[in-house]
Amino acid sequence: MSRHVILNANVLDLGISGAAWELSGLPRDTVASGDYYAEIGRIAERGTLDAYFLADNPAVREDPRRTPGRALEPTTILVTVAAATSHLGLIGTLSTTFNDPVELAERLLTLDHLSGGRAAWNAVTTYNPAAGGNFGLLEVPSRAERYSRAHEFVDVVTALWQGAAEGRDIDHRGTHFTVSGRLPLGPSPQGHPLIVQAGGSPQGRELAGRTANAVFSAELSLAAGVEHYEQVKQVAVRHGRRRDDVAILPGLITIIGSTHAEAVARYERARELLGPVHELRRLGAVLLHDLVPYHLDEPFPAHVLAELPDPESFTGSLGFRESVVRGVSERLAATGGRYTLREAIGEFGDGGHRRVIGAPEQIADTIEQWFRAGAADGFNLMPDAFPAGLELFVDEVVPILRRRGLFRHEYAESTLRERLAPTATRLPAAV
């Protein structure tokens, strides 16, 4: 287990809430400003958070009239954040499905050099059909094909980084890639970037346990968190690594108020701004089922939760779907099947990540409970709206965690590797 809770700021444009734009009070074009991202980085560093996390999706997934942004390329934003900070880690999401490993390895190693050893790569596969169309594909490769490519992609990138650090050429000849030579850069201050993985499917856990320094997971209950935590740790051990070589970091949506009632009022205001159709569509996107035609006050349609006949053909995120299916199924069982669709969107409408609404003490209680129970080594924080949601966490929750001995008072390490993976074993270069 980490020496303290790991806390990253997951910067999703103006925030995770669909009403983040209204809650923030910022102009619509804010998300195209480098100053905006730099200021969030400065807030996160003021709270001594571990890293700044950026998602990415090479396609338009949501109505840009409602959710402006997600148009800037992650590594470019992270260069801006690196210039505005001194210690904050920089984690960028880049797909193994629609990138080239040599170009990606050089781009991220460049970021690692420019930031003084603070970079990490969140390696994901891309299942969105719209993204495939942007790359000339009529359909996205199957899950098995995507993960086969992802495993080899990560091996090639790791080999290139290690070759750069050791001053040697690599000679990789595999199913998907043939790569010979070396990168022009030498080792960064931390050797090379860390690897993060975000995937809750069996294939995702296998990739994470074998290669990742940290995992961005999506679990809604403590029991599910403990189960996933153990699964990934056991995969790591099976591949000759130590349990502590991979940190498990669930997403945590935070809606914070000075009191619980104030936080609830903030949350309900956002729901009113959006209306129930937005939540129905967001939850339906996770389950890959149109929920809009169903009556809100009828029991949740149980057939939507049925086991997939062919999980390999499922085109959404299996990890998100599994966490929501488990959560809704538990509520249906507890209520004798009377759990309504309206209740479900109120509890799970954010789509896959645990949500905590409350005063700072309540947020800190959840973090401590999961950390001490062995369900998480830390969290990827997802405030409802920036910058206020992150400022509240930094100014109100962080001091509580410090008083409990769960979080640092100041940065003691100069690189991200020293903070997140100080004892991690070196990954073998598959060349």
Domains of the chain: 6-255+354-420 (3.20.20.30), 262-347 (no CATH)
pLDDT in tens, the chain (431 residues): 447 999 999 998 899 988 888 888 898 789 889 999 999 999 999 999 999 999 876 655 555 555 555 567 899 999 999 999 999 999 999 999 889 999 999 999 999 999 999 999 999 987 665 555 556 665 677 888 988 999 999 999 999 999 999 999 999 999 999 999 999 999 999 999 999 998 677 888 898 999 999 999 988 889 989 999 999 999 999 999 999 999 999 999 999 999 999 999 999 999 998 888 888 988 888 888 899 999 999 999 999 998 877 666 666 677 778 888 988 999 999 999 999 999 998 888 776 789 999 999 999 999 999 999 999 999 999 999 999 999 999 999 999 999 999 999 999 999 999 998 765 544 443 43
Strands 89-95 and 178-181: unpaired
Place of tokens 């998300």: 31
Between the two ends of the chain, the Cα-to-Cα distance in Å is 31
Structure tokens at 296: 């809100």
Residue 290 CB coordination number (10 Å)? 12
**Of 344, 63, 283, 299, residue with least CA distance to 291:** 283
Alpha-carbon gap, residue 408 to 50, rounded angstroms: 10
| Interatomic CA distance for residues 124 and 12, integer angstroms | 16
